Each structure stands twice: as C-alpha cells, then as structure tokens.
Amino acid sequence: MSVQKIILYPDPVLKKVCRPVRDLDEEILGLIRDLVDTMRSGPGSVGVAAPQIGITLRVCVVDVSGSKLGKNSNHGLLVMVNPEIIESDGTAVMREGCMSVPDYTGDVERATGVTIRFTDEHNRVRVLETSGFEAVAVQHEMDHLDGLLFLDRISSLKTGLFRRKNYK
C-alpha cells in the first residue's frame, strides 16, 4: 500500500485503548501493508502500531532483524493482530525511542523475555517466545495498543528522559 504519516505525541489518539480486530479482511490486510511500509521507511524503526498512523485497532508489526541489537536473535517480520502477552520473565532497563516521540529517548524497564499469542497475516494463531531486543520491541508496540507510550514507563522524567541528538 503506502507509507503513512506518523502521529506525534501529544495527539490524543496515541492515548486510546485500541479495539480488537474481528475479521482479517482486505481492509486489515491493507492496514498491515501500510504498517510494514511505514516501519521500513522510518529511520532505525523496528516496529509500528496502528494508532501511530491514526487507526485504533489492535494491530502492530515488529522486525528487529535489521538492527544490530536484534540481528542475531529474532523471528523476522512479526505481524501481530490482537496480540497478548501470556508469560514474561526477567527485567532489564533499556534505552527506547519512538517514531511518535522523535525528539526524545528514555530508559525503560521491561521484561527480558515474553511469550506472546497473536493472529498473523495468514489468519493463523501463533504462540512465540521472544527475548532480548525483540521482546522489548514487541512490548513497546503492544503498549501502543493500550494507549501507552514509553514516556509512561519512565520512572523519572528528570533522570530517565534524554533529548535525541540526531534522528535520521
């Protein structure tokens, strides 16, 4: 389909809890194509969620395979419709950024491993175990579906938020 414009914070659509997808029809498949195209067009992007392009449905995509942090441990392109975390373990703090908050990064504590259940673009229910950077990216994108930004997970905006030097 096409690259879509990213909605920027503080747009209220980013704070909305998204509705579940009922049917994987042509409209949803088009949304998935738009999300993949938009993710691949973003500088350093490893994921994007539907609300970031103004659609309040529970759909997101993640692909960390092109990132130095995820290239050795990933499942390739993950298209996730109605994803849910069914198990998590460990915690670590990692620096995160977001296309919807382009001028800042922040230190966020997340699970180091998550097991997720979702429907893929072929209408198959999948259960996957993810770890490391891929697990962080999955949690970040799934947060968008619940109206949360990484800014909401920073324990101290004074010490855990950083102005981005360059976003290209």
At 30-60, the pLDDT tens digits run 999 999 999 999 989 999 999 999 999 999 9
CATH number for domain 12-163, candidates 3.30.365.10, 3.90.45.10, 3.50.50.60, 3.80.10.10: 3.90.45.10
Catalytic residue among 96, 121, 134, 141: 141
Please confirm, yes or no, whether 84 is among the known catalytic residues: no
Structure tokens at 115: 């097991």
Residue 125, classified by CB atoms within 10 Å of its CB into exposed (0-12), middle (13-18) or buried (19+), is exposed
Sign of CA dihedral 24, 21, 51, 153: negative
Greatest CA separation for the chain: 45
At 90-127, the pLDDT tens digits run 999 999 999 999 999 999 999 999 999 999 999 999 99
Q: What is the pTM of this model?
A: 0.96
